[in-house]
C-alpha cells in the first residue's frame, strides 16, 4: 500500500507538472550564495522538482533530493538528465528519516514541516554546514501541526550562527491562478564548528 502523502503529492505533480517544472530557484538560497562552500554536497529535503537543487547543481554543487513523490522526482530527473546535472534522487517518507551523521554541507527545507527533522538536521550537517529553511506560519486551518508558531524556527536554532531570520508576509502564487497573502518564516543558519 502506498503512503497517503505520496498518493496526494503524486496526483498534484501529475496534474500540475508544468506549474511545478517552471518554478524558479528559491530566492532565500540565491541571495545567500556567498555563504555556500565551493563544491559542497547539498541535501534538498522534500525537494519536489528541485528547482533550487537544479540551479545549485548547474553552478557546481552536488545535490541529493529526497521526496515522498515519485512523480515529482521523475519530473526533476528528466530535467536534470537533459542538462547533465550531478543530482541524485530517492523516494522516502520524510517525517523522521535516518540521515548519515556529519555528511551534508547544506540542507534545504522549503515548505515542509516535520519538527523531528530538526534534530536529524543537527546531526546530518557537517560542522559549519548551512541550513536554509522556509515554511508557513500558523494560520487557521485543518492541521496546525503543519505550521510554525511565530519565532519557533529561530528559537529552535538559536544556538547556531543565524545569518538571516525573517517572518514575512508575501504573495503566494496559486497553482490554479491568482495569488493570496501568506506569512512564512525564513532561516539561514550555520551549524557550530
Q: To the nearest whole number, what is the mean pLDDT of the chain?
A: 85
Does the CA dihedral 8-13-19-24 come out positive or negative? Answer: positive
In a domain, 49, yes or no: yes
In a domain, 110, yes or no: yes
pLDDT tens column, 139-154: 656 566 778 888 999 9
In a domain, 190, yes or no: no
In a domain, 67, yes or no: yes
In a domain, 93, yes or no: yes
Domain that holds residue 105: 4-14+37-170
In a domain, 58, yes or no: yes
pLDDT tens column, 130-185: 999 999 888 656 566 778 888 999 999 999 999 999 998 877 666 566 677 778 99
Running along the chain, 193 residues long, what does each successive block of 10 average in pLDDT? 58 54 81 93 92 93 90 85 90 85 97 92 97 86 75 96 92 65 91 96
In a domain, 182, yes or no: no
Give this prediction's pTM: 0.85
In a domain, 152, yes or no: yes
The 8-class DSSP code of residue 170 comes to E
Cell of 70: 515519485
Total number of domains constituting the chain: 1
SS3 113: coil
CA atoms within 13 A on the CB side of 127: 2
Domain with residue 109: its CATH number is 3.40.50.150
- Interaxial angle between packed helices 4-15 and 70-82, expressed in degrees from 0 to 180 and rounded to the nearest 10: 50
Amino acid at each position: 500500500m502506498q503512503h497517503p502523502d505520496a498518493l496526494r503529492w503524486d496526483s498534484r505533480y501529475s496534474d500540475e507538472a508544468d506549474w511545478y517544472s517552471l518554478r524558479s530557484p528559491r530566492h532565500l538560497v540565491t541571495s545567500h550564495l556567498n555563504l555556500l562552500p565551493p563544491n559542497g554536497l547539498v541535501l534538498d529535503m522534500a525537494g519536489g522538482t528541485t528547482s533550487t537543487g537544479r540551479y545549485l547543481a548547474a553552478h557546481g554543487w552536488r545535490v541529493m533530493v529526497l521526496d515522498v513523490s515519485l512523480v515529482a522526482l521523475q519530473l526533476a530527473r528528466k530535467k536534470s538528465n537533459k542538462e547533465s546535472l550531478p543530482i541524485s534522487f530517492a523516494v522516502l517518507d520524510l517525517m523522521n528519516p535516518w540521515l548519515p551523521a556529519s555528511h551534508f554541507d547544506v540542507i534545504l527545507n522549503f515548505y515542509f514541516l516535520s519538527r523531528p527533522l530538526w534534530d536529524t538536521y543537527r546531526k546530518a550537517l557537517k560542522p559549519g554546514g548551512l541550513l536554509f529553511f522556509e515554511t508557513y506560519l500558523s494560520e487557521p486551518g485543518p492541521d496546525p501541526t503543519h505550521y510554525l508558531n511565530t519565532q519557533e524556527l529561530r528559537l529552535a536554532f538559536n544556538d547556531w550562527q543565524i545569518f538571516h531570520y525573517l517572518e514575512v508576509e508575501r504573495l503566494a502564487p496559486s497553482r490554479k491562478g491568482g495569488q493570496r497573502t501568506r506569512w512564512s518564516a525564513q532561516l539561514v543558519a550555520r551549524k557550530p564548528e
